[in-house]
Amino acid sequence: MKLNIRPKAEPEVNLTSLIDVVLLLLIFFMVSTSFVKQSQIAIRLPEAEASPSTEEVPEQVDVMITEQGTYLVNGRELVNSRPETIRNALRRVSGGDFTLPLTISADANARHQYVVTAMDVAGRLGFVQINIATVNDPVQP
């Protein structure tokens, strides 16, 4: 008995259907993707100068508030705590230059209203650089 030996056939892989499916998925995702423009915040970064600046530290206005609600403007106590008195003191100390930095520091036990009053008066005068200072208590044993 004579058996015929057939040559082994090489298997063929047909990639046409696979390529069709991949292209259809690509088109689907391209069409269904929405491009959302995220809102951006404009940030003005500081720029370095070629030579170090030797400018003096600008003058600033300090407003201190005690626990009892007494206001001190640049270390001088005010007669009363009415907004008109605070306004006049800030005008006198700043000399009308409302671009000076203003720092408000208050006692930890001072009422919040005292700080808000100082910020309101400074804002109405036109101060744009208002800082609030905090003081850390020393560590107690």
Domain that holds residue 100: 61-133
Query: pLDDT at position 137, please?
Result: 59
At 103, which CATH number?
Answer: 3.30.420.270
d(CA 91, CA 4): 114
Whether residue 99 is contained in a domain is answered as yes
Query: pLDDT at position 56, please?
Result: 44
Whether residue 32 is contained in a domain is answered as no
Query: pLDDT at position 55, please?
Result: 44
Whether residue 31 is contained in a domain is answered as no
Whether residue 51 is contained in a domain is answered as no
Whether residue 69 is contained in a domain is answered as yes
What's the structural domain count of the chain?
Answer: 1
Query: pLDDT at position 82, please?
Result: 93
Whether residue 82 is contained in a domain is answered as yes
Q: What is the pLDDT along the chain (141 residues), one digit of tens a residue?
A: 677 777 787 888 888 889 999 999 999 988 888 766 666 667 777 777 766 555 444 488 999 999 898 999 988 999 998 999 999 999 998 888 888 899 999 988 889 999 999 999 999 999 988 888 866 655 554
Whether residue 8 is contained in a domain is answered as no
Whether residue 17 is contained in a domain is answered as no
d(CA 61, CA 134): 16
Query: pLDDT at position 70, please?
Result: 93
Say what angle helices 83-94 and 112-125 make with each other, to 10 degrees. Answer: 50
